[in-house]
Structure 1
Amino acid sequence: MASFLYRIGRFSFRHKWWVIAVWLVAALSVAGLVGALSPKFAKDFSLPGTDSGTATSQVEEYFPEVMKQQTQASTSVLVAAEDGLGAHASQIDGLVTDLQRLPDLTDPASVVNPDTVAKAQPALASSVIGDNGKVGLIQIRQNIEMTDLTVDQKEQLQEILADHRGDGLQVEATGSLMQVMEAGGKAEMIGFAVAFVVMIVAFGALVAAFIPLVTGLVGVMLTIMLLTLSAKFLSINETATAIVTMLGIAVSIDYALFIVSRYRNEVRRGGSRADAAGRAVGTAGTAVVFAGMTVMIAVVALTVIGIPLITQMGLGAASAVLVAVIAALTLIPALLGAVGRFAFTPRIPWIKHAEESDTADTLGVKFGRMVVKRPLPYVIAGLAVLVLAAIPMTKLELGMSMTSDDEAPAQSLLQRGFGEGINGPLLVVLHSDNGDVAAAADRTVAHIKTLDDVANTNTLVWTGNGKPAPNVGADTALISVTPTSAPSDGATHDLMEEIRAYTPSAEAAGAQLHVGGQTAIMSDLSAKLDKALLPYLVVVVGLAFLIMIGVFRSIWVPLIGTIGFIFSVCATFGVTVAIFQEGTFGLIDNTKPILSFLPIFLIGLVFGLAMDYQVFLVTRMREEYVHGMSAKDAIIAGYRHGSRVVTSAAIIMISVFAAFMLSPDTTAKMIGFALAVAVAFDAFIIRMMVVPAIIAMLGDRAWGLPKWLDRFVVNFDIEGSAVRDRGLPPSDSAAAPREPVGSPS
């Protein structure tokens, strides 16, 4: 493989303009197709193979109007006053008048003062007035798809609320309008800005710092356009683009950083720059290929979960990694060829140029010597930190609360006045093939009313042609069950399962029973993710472990790296639970359970990045060991050539992920925080400290395979032995003339 990649790198360098032109033509062609076909992302979310998925399908078929209402914007405005709403009648009337001016209201006349409704229609009082007349509910329904709401519309509502809040009246809102989020892009821009600064420090030159950014932008944009184009032929959810962008930026910059660093080292060794590019791609590029394979395994394995949206995210992310690998192997050497002798110019005078010589004592080398000299204390200290950080993980609670921080005050009022379940009803669908569902519906409603945590039920019985009808002769019934507890509460999940447990009785009455609605979908999603976690771990870790055996030709190195990853992930969960669930240090105002999908995403993304750093750092150690260095000297050499790259890449990734903590929403903060902390723990404690320390303790044993296994493991030549000295003068490479890398002359 090294020889093949050497030829690719050398060819791309020598035929730079052709290679760059091919990338430009590919990008412009895809952009042109996207513009011509105007594909649109899907906005629906489904869980095939689950009870809620079946219920959703039946609601779509038999109750299309109800399904339409489920997808349209619905927002609840809460008003509260300790001296009673009646004392603020004119203030609330002014609020209602302004709310009636919101766009596309289904029925402006339905937006009324709750105190007025209660006095005019006492039968409806309990649905709009709560807490002894101190809390009121104003429901706003709009003829707008929830996914089509804009930030401007949210801000319009917030201004109305602010105008009428005060003088003893609390005014808050929750629901569709309050869940609108600003378009992404800020985090990515911050990530690119930090990446540029870090690469200037890493290379000590401006031109070289731009090259990884260029490939990162090209790779991510091309992948997003390809994903958009595929939406013309497949059902692709827009949410899938988030992980593609995040991971695409991460690996593109990582891989470019690694190859450009190796190229500079190869130029210093001598020979032509084309040969140096070939050797860089043949050695570092081999590591990039296997690192990319590991990441792709981690994200493609998300398909085992069986959720279409997550499958799309996994396959989209794998596409981003594949494009990043191809760009690193072809576009990077082509860009290096285009800038020629100017690659490492202009020099930044106050930044020490990395790797000035093979004998320079950099910080990485000094740290490596300390680790090699006394490895055991570093192993104990590193693992102790992670174990202590992991302790709060014992309190881990998973949930799917998608309520934004902006909604927290309104949710508190909703709970106080009406119970938290009012915005998360369960939809029970009963269908009878014999054309009479009335008896089964009556029995089911009677049973549900006996269950705990039920606020109320409402039954709508329809005929098969979608027309409302009397109970007699109807074949489908829809029962709306309002829980007392919140949609993400464990009690709501228990209620859903108790209703489903009534299925045999419903079947005995001649009807099929299924429970759906957004609350049930979220609950089923959590359950499906919990079931999939163990198979996912087995697939990802198992396949990656086998690849690592081939990469390092060792049992110990992959085993140490994999076990170390488990330590870092547990520590990440512990810190995340402490901050976001338990409210430690008071950093989060609205604590909530850890998102159900966070563990599986965190494991997939961070495992892939962790193996990247393992490959980048440890392959250089093996390379030097294979070429004659002692086991401990090889570790120090690995620090000399790899520590700066791994440190730079990790800082960039931490910055990209941490930028999401600037979001006003706790959920986004949680995801960004967890990913940033996971990369920090794994890169700096496991990859840079614990793994090299244990390898130092093992010595020569770390780099061997049992004879029986050695016969079956393919030699991938990740050290690039076949191309290590290709293009250098026949004499000893150490004596070869060195071409200055930081001068345009």
Structure 2
Amino acid sequence: MSSFLHSLGRRAFAARKTVLALWLLVLAVGGGAAGLLNKGMDNTVTIPGTEAQEALDRLSVTFPQTSGASAQLVVVVPGGVRDPGVRREVERAVGELDGIEQVAQTVSPYATDIGGQISDDGRAGLITIQLDGVATAIDQATKDRIAAIAHGLQQRLPAGSQVSHGGPLFAQNFPGLSIVEALGLVIAVVVLVITLGSFLAAGMPLVNALIGVGISMALIFVATALGPITATTPLLALMLGLAVGIDYALFIVSRHQQELAAGSPPREAAARAVATAGSAVIFAGLTVIIALVGLGVAGIPFLTTMGVAAAVAVGIAVLVSITLVPALLGFAGNRLQPRQRARRSRREPVGTRFFTGWVRAVTRFPAVTVLAVVAVLGLATVPAAGLRLALPDAGALPEDDPARVTYDLVSEHFSPGFNGPLIVTATIVTSTDPLGLMDDLKREIERLPGVAEVPLATPNPTADTGIVQVIPEGAPDSAETKQLVAEIRALHGHFHDTYGIDISVTGFTAVGIDVSDKLGAALLPFGVVVVGLSLLLLTMVFRSVAVPVKATLGYLLSIGASLGLVTLVFQDGWLADALNVERTGPVISFMPIVLMGVLFGLAMDYEVFLVSRMREEYVHTRDARAAVTTGFVSSARVVTAAAVIMFAVFVAFVPEGDANLKPIAFGLAVGVFVDAFVVRMTLVPAVLVLLGERAWWMPRKLDRALPSFDIEGESLREELALADWPRPGSDEAVACEGLWLADPDTGRPVYRDVGFLLPRQGVHVVRGADETAVSALLLTLSGRLQPDRGKLKVLGHALPARAAAVRSRVAYVDAGDGGVEPVRRALGERPAVLVLDRTDRVSDPGARREIRDLLAGAGCTAIAGTTGLADLRDILPAAEAATTTDLRDDAVAPARVLSGAVGQRLS
């Protein structure tokens, strides 16, 4: 990966105009497609498989006039709505509403037999409007007409009267952006200038993020043509895209400056920055993407869509960062080098002293630091135990929104439950007295605790389905209403035994309760997936057991603290006014699972960028304590800048942001702050110092079984160091020197001190008394086994850094196992090098001659292995010119060294 990114960085730097033009073209095409195909946002939430949704789907067939969207007009008159003049005007408005094409039915407040409502004090009346179709099917003209009729009615009523329109139809709020969100970008620019030292360098991450976000937004709006997308989706993608786009570019530009300071020319500095920091960016981006796509574990379509859209935004940010940033560095050329070096020399000692002092302070008494951090974050987590979840309704809208005004007026003059009535459906097809049955159901439900009233109980025209409208005493998002839904559903068996019917509870409120319950149930499996993933990925990256466990426990502390503070602010009201929280209460249902997914990826970002430097120092010095200090100081400045930028972007969406996004943005801002500064920069150094060398321990079997991610570009450095070895411009098929492989358990040599040069299309023979030792060396030369030390290049590729490239061009064949046919198949794939193992086991003279003829016509480099001094002239072309390596007799090769390597072929 690092070698590929190094090449990509060099090419992007050289072709900077083309790269920039291509990304701008993609942005322009995406924007144009979004303008043509955009179908608008849809905040309708459906959860297939839940009782409420299934009942609603059945009603759309059996009782369609009750399954569509609904709206309300609340009329408040100081003298009372029963005044004849007032009643005349209200009935006129009801008639006007009935005349709207998409209105299925309008219930007058005076029609008390079919659900009309007048408040106990007579001052308020409620007009209920049932529409023909779901909310997304109702056009804007219908909404505007309802609003106009409400306004006209208020004009005709006595002075001091109030008429407001609202209800579920108007509860959908499609948020936009305000100037407050732009403040996050302003803070980001300031931090970038301070960190990178110039406006030129600071502008690159910003340009990178804006182009990536623009493309992501375009793709989301194009996707609205394929299916419904909630209004929160593009805002979440925007927030994440900006944050990671800026941060990922910051990491690359900062590494570019370090390479310039070390004396690399601009093009090579950009290439090395992309190869090293770019590798970490790809890994960090993948963790965020996997966590976001993992939101699909909940099995909720709108949440899966939200996760995929945000994952696409992060993926585009990664792609833009590793291609556009080196192109932008190409435009800067040498202009960054002298100015940055001068500014760094004046500023760096202060930063170094601060971070050195910080890490020494938190590691001086590491046990005390660990206990203090765990205690503080544990205390912050306690409120999360009382977190309640619900889908937002009109009560979460701004106070001056008509739907919010209606919501508050209904709560004031009627039971709060009128803002979210329940619908109990019953299959009454077997009843001989449907009207009497519905009356019986009404009486039984009215007696339940938590029921304010039951204004309507009626069968449909075909008498196969009945509905009972239930008004709870509590608000739609209250715990009392949730308990009432559970109690009604618990009576299913009673109603079936008594009346022979099946009941279901549905309606907007019941759907919201089912959504919250399903999301709550998904938290544990999602958490297991995320935690398990973090353990696996970090184990592969850091080759350690303790580091992944520590990282995962730190992530859980960050999540707990975030959820606890969200509960205090948005549910309990702490600092609610300061953060412009319109209404406290239950938090939007999908906040915890989105927070867990997104914060997981971001936490792993900081873990990778901070701890990878510590691991690099430990590998080089084997001084565990010094590695923590040196690695921390070298990476803390950039991690601090990245965390401040993310915090600023997230927190900017809190004061004026969408009510649905506010708790998510606040939780992410708190989570980033806690995870970066409290967990990663305080707890992590203390834990690593406390563990010492044990922090980097890993069982050998696990180390061999897991793939390795070279995110710091160690293999690239080895490859660059061998670029002019064995001599500048050399083009040997194989060059090796001092190769050594030992048994990992005993340390005894398998082979040692092997070195030779083999030209292209040359022939080489490896001989030894131990057949397994010969096979081990041949597997090493074919890129399938890694030596413990020594230099090795095959076809110009340094090993083990470019093992994958070598394996794709070098075929390994066990001739003693299959004879001629495996050789024929391998040569059919046209390898540049053919490695023949156990050639002395091919005993048939005809087979040996056939192999020689095949090799003579292939024109590839040949390497053969044999034991003893067997004559290979009859199996190798030009055998008389072959070079030879004789393995030492005291080399002993345990068979387990070759586990998983023998038998690999060109593929």
Contact 1:104 1:142 in 2 (8 A): no
1:497 paired residue number? 486
Deviation, structure 1 residue 607: 1.6
Which residue identity is paired with 2:571? Q
Q: Note closer, same or farther for the CA distance 1:555–1:480 as it changes in structure 2 (3 Å cut).
A: same
Deviation, structure 1 residue 567: 1.6
Contact 1:625 1:634 in 2 (8 A): yes
Q: CA RMSD in A?
A: 4.2
Give secondary structure in 1 for the equivalent of 2:426. strand
1:453 paired residue number? 450
Deviation, structure 1 residue 522: 0.1
Matches within 5 A, 1:33-112: 33-38=33-38, 44-68=44-68, 70=69, 74-77=71-74, 79=76, 85=80
2:530 paired residue number? 540
Sequence identity (%)? 37
Give secondary structure in 2 for the equivalent of 1:723. helix
Matches within 5 A, 1:104-503: 127-137=116-126, 175=167, 176-177=169-170, 180=173, 182-184=175-177, 186=179, 188-343=181-336, 353=344, 361-402=352-393, 403-404=395-396, 405-406=398-399, 411=407, 413-431=409-427, 438=434, 441=438, 444-454=441-451, 455-462=453-460, 468-469=461-462, 474-503=463-492
Deviations, residues 245-300 of structure 1 (Å, cap 9, x unaligned) = 22211211121111111111011112322221221122111211211121112111
Give secondary structure in 2 for the equivalent of 1:584. coil
Deviation, structure 1 residue 597: 2.0
Q: Note closer, same or farther for the CA distance 1:138–1:53 as it changes in structure 2 (3 Å cut).
A: closer
Q: Note closer, same or farther for the CA distance 1:435–1:135 as it changes in structure 2 (3 Å cut).
A: closer
Q: Distance in 1 between matches of 2:645 and 2:90?
A: 47
1:717 paired residue number? 710
Deviation, structure 1 residue 361: 2.8
Which residue identity is paired with 1:26? V
Which of 656, 668, 672 aligns to 1:663? It is: 656
Contact 1:153 1:177 in 2 (8 A): no
Deviation, structure 1 residue 711: 1.7
2:630 paired residue number? 637
Q: Note closer, same or farther for the CA distance 1:267–1:671 as it changes in structure 2 (3 Å cut).
A: same
Deviations, residues 358-393 of structure 1 (Å, cap 9, x unaligned) = 997342233223334343343333333323323333
Q: Distance in 1 between matches of 2:287 and 2:236?
A: 17
Q: Distance in 1 between matches of 2:157 and 2:353?
A: 60
Deviations, residues 65-90 of structure 1 (Å, cap 9, x unaligned) = 3333x1x5x24435375xx6489999
148-157 or 357-366, which moves further after superposition?
A: 148-157
310-319 or 722-731, which moves further after superposition?
A: 722-731
Give secondary structure in 2 for the equivalent of 1:591. coil
Which of 640, 644, 650 aligns to 1:647? It is: 640
Give secondary structure in 2 for the equivalent of 1:662. coil
Give secondary structure in 2 for the equivalent of 1:525. helix
Contact 1:105 1:142 in 2 (8 A): no
Q: Distance in 2 between matches of 1:227 and 1:244?
A: 9
Q: Distance in 1 between matches of 2:582 and 2:219?
A: 40
Q: Distance in 2 between matches of 1:238 and 1:586?
A: 24
Deviation, structure 1 residue 101: 11
Q: Distance in 1 between matches of 2:205 and 2:96?
A: 50
Deviation, structure 1 residue 59: 2.1
Deviation, structure 1 residue 347: 7.1
- Identify, as 1 or 2, the structure richer in helix: 1
Contact 2:603 2:675 in 1 (8 A): yes
1:560 paired residue number? 550
Q: Note closer, same or farther for the CA distance 1:448–1:568 as it changes in structure 2 (3 Å cut).
A: same
- Normalised by the length of structure 1, the TM-score is 0.83
Deviation, structure 1 residue 432: 6.3
Give secondary structure in 2 for the equivalent of 1:430. strand
628-637 or 559-568, which moves further after superposition?
A: 628-637
Deviations, residues 558-597 of structure 1 (Å, cap 9, x unaligned) = 1111111222222222222222322335635732123332
Give secondary structure in 2 for the equivalent of 1:722. helix
Q: Distance in 2 between matches of 1:642 and 1:695?
A: 16
- Normalised by the length of structure 2, the TM-score is 0.69
2:519 paired residue number? 529
1:735 paired residue number? none
Q: Distance in 1 between matches of 2:636 and 2:294?
A: 30
Q: Note closer, same or farther for the CA distance 1:550–1:178 as it changes in structure 2 (3 Å cut).
A: closer
Which residue identity is paired with 1:15? A
Which residue identity is paired with 2:377? L
Residue 569 (structure 2) pairs with residue 579 (structure 1): yes
209-218 or 377-386, which moves further after superposition?
A: 377-386
Give secondary structure in 2 for the equivalent of 1:660. coil
Deviation, structure 1 residue 99: 12
339-348 or 139-148, which moves further after superposition?
A: 139-148
Contact 2:41 2:231 in 1 (8 A): yes
Deviation, structure 1 residue 442: 5.6
Contact 1:88 1:169 in 2 (8 A): no
Deviation, structure 1 residue 342: 2.9
Deviations, residues 203-227 of structure 1 (Å, cap 9, x unaligned) = 1201111111111112122222223
Q: Note closer, same or farther for the CA distance 1:209–1:618 as it changes in structure 2 (3 Å cut).
A: same
Deviation, structure 1 residue 154: 12
Contact 2:74 2:124 in 1 (8 A): no
Q: Distance in 2 between matches of 1:153 and 1:194?
A: 44
Deviation, structure 1 residue 551: 0.8
2:607 paired residue number? 614
Give secondary structure in 1 for the equivalent of 2:468. strand
Residue 679 (structure 2) pairs with residue 689 (structure 1): no
Q: Distance in 2 between matches of 1:385 and 1:379?
A: 10
The structure, 1 or 2, with the larger RCO (C-alpha pairs under 8 Å, 6+ apart) is: 1
Aligned length in residues? 708
Q: Which ranges of structure 1 fall in alignment gaps of 5 or more residues?
A: 463-467, 732-745
Contact 1:203 1:354 in 2 (8 A): no
Q: Note closer, same or farther for the CA distance 1:144–1:480 as it changes in structure 2 (3 Å cut).
A: closer
Deviation, structure 1 residue 9: 1.8
Contact 1:34 1:228 in 2 (8 A): yes
Deviation, structure 1 residue 141: 7.9
Contact 1:96 1:111 in 2 (8 A): no
Q: Note closer, same or farther for the CA distance 1:382–1:90 as it changes in structure 2 (3 Å cut).
A: farther
Deviation, structure 1 residue 238: 4.5
Contact 2:387 2:587 in 1 (8 A): yes
Which of 571, 587, 592 aligns to 1:594? It is: 587
Contact 1:432 1:475 in 2 (8 A): yes
2:596 paired residue number? 603
Q: Distance in 2 between matches of 1:426 and 1:551?
A: 52
Deviation, structure 1 residue 481: 2.4
- Identify, as 1 or 2, the structure richer in strand: 2
25-34 or 633-642, which moves further after superposition?
A: 25-34
Larger Rg: 2
Q: Distance in 1 between matches of 2:310 and 2:273?
A: 26
